[in-house]
Amino acid sequence: MTGLILVAAILLSAGYAKLSTMVLNRMLAVTLPTWANKLLEIIQLLSMPAYAMILLIAFYSRHAGFGGLSWQTISYWELVLILAGAIGFGFLVHSTIVFQSYRPPRCEITCDSRIVDFRTPLTAIAADQVSAPSDWLSTFVGPGPRRRVALLPGNQQFSLEVSTKTYSLPRLPQAWEGLSIVHFADTHFRGAVTRRYFEKVCEHARALKPDLFVFSGDLFDDLALLDWLEPTLGQLKAPLGQYFILGNHDWYLGTNVVRQEYERHGWVDLSSRCIELKSDKSGPPIVIAGDETPWMGKHPDLSHVSPETFRILLSHTPDNVYWAQKQKFDLMLAGHTHGGQIRLPLLGPVYAPSRYGCRFASGVFWLNPTLMYVSRGISGREPIRYNCVPELTKLVLRSGSNFRE
């Protein structure tokens, strides 16, 4: 009986953990100040062991095990706790099935990925300053906040998955066949991950030679590191330009200074705007728009854009996908959720600040007629990654004769 009680307590506690993180994820998706976000995270973190302890005390002390549990003896609050755990466990099973059954949509024609481990000498792109594995620590781990977190064994923060993925999109005009975009997300410059790491990421980005670079927000977590932009993103130039929007972490810092720094280095601000891109071949223009809601600005106005025009949206959060779908965007690029940063074996990501929880934590999603790409991003406020390697992706677009839903 003792074993049964323990198993029940563990399953109900796991259910409560799932339910409370679902609530937390949704609360973090709205525009709260950082101190409120931190407070919510601490409350949720403390509530999980508290739930388990209360449950065990109730089972053992008040009811002397399951044998003493009955409708007559169970109190109202005990019933609420058990129900919360049971409902949460149902959600846990559901999200595990969804995570395990995820497959990219069929419009993904090719996927060419390799993982670069920055803790070994970099020979493929540049072997200039990193000569031996022992150098990696002083080269890539800085003195900033959470340095100890960055140094945790097995932390994947100092790896990078560099991918080229080809997508077939039904409305892409022939003149834009092969359009390539390198999508950056969530660098979170804060200091524990050094500038050198981000310079290396940008060297990989430059080697991908895209038609345009885009950054979907959360560049900074510390304005003292503003001068990091010049040797990193400032070195990137593409034939069709470099475009950015800000994220909630840039918003916490004060947006004007960040926008000015981007623009000083040739990046175009897409906040609440819609810009026409023209092909050098004869053919119709396409539009690229930016959306920083719910933190800043408003949805970009597409009323002047013809319904046939191919549309790309840069949105910090994937939560804007249903709006993008209504506006008939063909491609939406987002970040913000970092793939959850830690993915548990079997269960997948746990934390993702989104109205939809972990559903859009990362990956590619087809919501007809919109293809949404959610990047795991490059770093995070906490420099920690397990089973969730930072990513840098080049998307190549093909017009959609071979597209199947």
| Nearest CB to Fe ion, comparing residues 119 and 146 | 146
Residue nearest to Fe ion as judged by C-beta position = 218
CB of 89 to Fe ion, least distance (A): 30
Say if CB 316 and CB 323 are below 8 A apart: no
Residue 294: Cβ-neighbour burial (10 angstroms; 0-12, 13-18, 19+) = middle
| Nearest CB to Fe ion, comparing residues 300 and 339 | 339
| Nearest CB to Fe ion, comparing residues 218 and 269 | 218
CB of 186 to Fe ion, least distance (A): 4
| Nearest CB to Fe ion, comparing residues 142 and 247 | 247
CB of 309 to Fe ion, least distance (A): 30
| Nearest CB to Fe ion, comparing residues 330 and 382 | 382
| Nearest CB to Fe ion, comparing residues 358 and 396 | 358
CB of 104 to Fe ion, least distance (A): 22
> Alpha carbon of 116 to those of 39, 111, 130, 154, 209: distances in Å?
36, 16, 14, 15, 18
* 292 forms part of the interface with Fe ion (CB under 5 A): no
| Nearest CB to Fe ion, comparing residues 218 and 382 | 218
Say if CB 15 and CB 90 are below 8 A apart: yes
Task: Looking at residues 177 to 236 of the shown chain, list those that interact with Fe ion (rule: CB under 5 A).
Answer: 186, 218
CB of 232 to Fe ion, least distance (A): 16
Binding mask 60-99 for Fe ion (x = CB under 5 A): ----------------------------------------
| Nearest CB to Fe ion, comparing residues 15 and 353 | 353
CB of 296 to Fe ion, least distance (A): 14
CB of 153 to Fe ion, least distance (A): 24
Sign of the Cα pseudo-torsion (9, 12, 17, 20, in order): negative
CB of 247 to Fe ion, least distance (A): 5
CB of 132 to Fe ion, least distance (A): 32
| Nearest CB to Fe ion, comparing residues 82 and 246 | 246
Torsion angle defined by CA atoms of residues 207, 213, 216 and 220, in that order, rounded to the nearest 10 degrees: 60
Task: Looking at residues 113 to 142 of the shown chain, list those that interact with Fe ion (rule: CB under 5 A).
Answer: none
CB of 248 to Fe ion, least distance (A): 7
In three-state form (DSSP H/G/I as H, E/B as E, the rest C), the secondary structure along the chain is CHHHHHHHHHHHHHHHHHHHHHHHHHHCCCCCCHHHHHHHHHHHHHHHHHHHHHHHHHHHHHCCCHHHCCCCCCCHHHHHHHHHHHHHHHHHHHHHHHHHCCCCCCCEEEEEEEEEECCCCCCCCCCCCCCCHHHHHHHHECCCCCHHHHCCCCCHHHEEEEEEEEEEECCCCHHHCCCEEEEECCCCECCCECHHHHHHHHHHHHHCCCCEEEECCCCECCHHHHHHCCCCHHHCCCCCCEEECCCHHHHHHCHHHHHHHHHHCCEEECECCEEEECCCCCCCCEEEEEECCCCCCCCCCCCCCCCCCCEEEEECCHHHHHHHHHCCCCEEEECCCHHHCEEECCCEECCCCCCCCCCCCCEEEEECCEEEEECCCCCCCCCCCECCCCEEEEEEEEECCCCCC
CB of 353 to Fe ion, least distance (A): 9
Backbone angles phi, psi at 165, to 5 degrees: -125, 135
| Nearest CB to Fe ion, comparing residues 381 and 394 | 381
What is the total count of residues that contact Fe ion (CB under 5 A)? 2
| Nearest CB to Fe ion, comparing residues 385 and 398 | 385
Which residues of the chain form contacts with Fe ion (CB under 5 A)?
Answer: 186, 218
